[in-house]
Amino acid sequence: MGTAIDSFDVAGRSTIRSGDGAFFHLPPSAGSGQNLVTGISDELLQRRQAGARPLAGRERIGLVAPEPVAAALLPVFHEAGVELTVGDDRGPGSVGLLLHLAATPAERNRFEALPGGRAAVLRFYGEGDLVFVDPLSLEPADPTGWQVLRRRLAASPAAAELRAWLDTPAAATDFAPQGVAMDLLTARLLTIITAWQRNSPSLAAHRRTLWRLDTLTLAASEHPVLPFPEPASLGEGLRAPLP
């Protein structure tokens, strides 16, 4: 991988533009010539590569998903330089972040105990032609899978119908986006994961944003989801039912 470097003059000042759009004015004492440009290019490349490396402890990403989905994601993540380890139904293993495909609505809270202790969790799932990526969960106070669903029900003009449909077998059909839809989903997952690995400024927004993709029209949208206190238990560890 290289970094494009352009060298030119601005009002008589030697100027460098790096591949990421940053401009640098060189002092008159810096000299000129191809050797100078090459040296600056190498230094900028090293800086950008250092900035792209994950923070310590955030290198390994786990994946719990059916084999066809894992097979589709692995080569793309590898090309992007993200270390992806496929786990099994018993758990994610030793990873910093778990990428979890919830095959059924009942699985959406399966790993809610991990954030704040063992690993962050990034959950995604399908509903018919729709694909959702839940907010990234780093701490126990972040929105859970059930909180995301409650927010959706509260905002839906067809809440009763949505809730009833999620209890039908159709809500647990195989997750199989194809072509561009899968590319868009993969790009979204990588965007969130790399933001977490580098602790980017965009990370806060990813912890409060539900992403929705219509795989037929390829229309994508973002929806804010804020955490809220859970209802009091009703004995035997039960929680209050959804409204």
Of residues 23 and 44, more confidently modeled: 23
In a domain, 216, yes or no: yes
Distance in angstroms (rounded) separating the CA atoms of residues 63 and 186: 13
In a domain, 109, yes or no: yes
The answer on 79 and 194 residing in a single domain is: yes
pLDDT digits (tens, 9 = 90+) for 57-75: 898 999 999 999 999 999 9
In a domain, 243, yes or no: no
Of residues 27 and 129, more confidently modeled: 129
In a domain, 235, yes or no: no
Reported confidence tier of residue 133, pLDDT bands at 50, 70, 90: very high
In a domain, 229, yes or no: no
The answer on 100 and 26 residing in a single domain is: no
| First-to-last C-alpha distance (Å) of the chain | 53
The answer on 37 and 91 residing in a single domain is: no
The answer on 82 and 10 residing in a single domain is: no
The answer on 129 and 13 residing in a single domain is: no
φ/ψ of 158, rounded to 5, equals: -130, 50
In a domain, 230, yes or no: no
pLDDT of residue 90: 63
In a domain, 119, yes or no: yes
Give burial (CB, 10 Å; 0-12/13-18/19+) of 161.
Answer: exposed
The answer on 158 and 107 residing in a single domain is: yes
Residue ranges of E strands in 65-148: 83-86, 97-101, 120-127, 130-133
Distance in angstroms (rounded) separating the CA atoms of residues 211 and 188: 8
The answer on 151 and 40 residing in a single domain is: no
Would the CA dihedral through 26, 28, 32, 38 be positive or negative? negative
* Whether the predicted pLDDT of 117 surpasses 70: yes
Run of H or E residues at 210:
strand 209-214
Of residues 27 and 182, more confidently modeled: 182
Give helix 67-79 / helix 179-198 axis angle, nearest 10°.
60
Number of domains in the chain: 2
Distance in angstroms (rounded) separating the CA atoms of residues 225 and 122: 14
Q: Which domain holds residue 41?
A: 6-52
For residues 185 and 132, is the Cβ–Cβ distance under 8 A? no
Return the exposure string of 20-32: e unless at least 16 CB atoms fall within 10 Å of the residue's CB, then b: eeeeeebeeeeee
In a domain, 133, yes or no: yes
**Residue 97's CATH number:** 3.40.50.720
The answer on 189 and 170 residing in a single domain is: yes
The answer on 70 and 42 residing in a single domain is: no
Reported confidence tier of residue 228, pLDDT bands at 50, 70, 90: confident
Distance in angstroms (rounded) separating the CA atoms of residues 25 and 9: 9
Interval 126-145 mean pLDDT? 95
The answer on 105 and 217 residing in a single domain is: yes
Interval 208-229 mean pLDDT? 94
The answer on 18 and 113 residing in a single domain is: no
* Whether the predicted pLDDT of 31 surpasses 70: no
| Residue matched to tokens 């991990």 | 114
The answer on 116 and 74 residing in a single domain is: yes
pTM here is 0.83
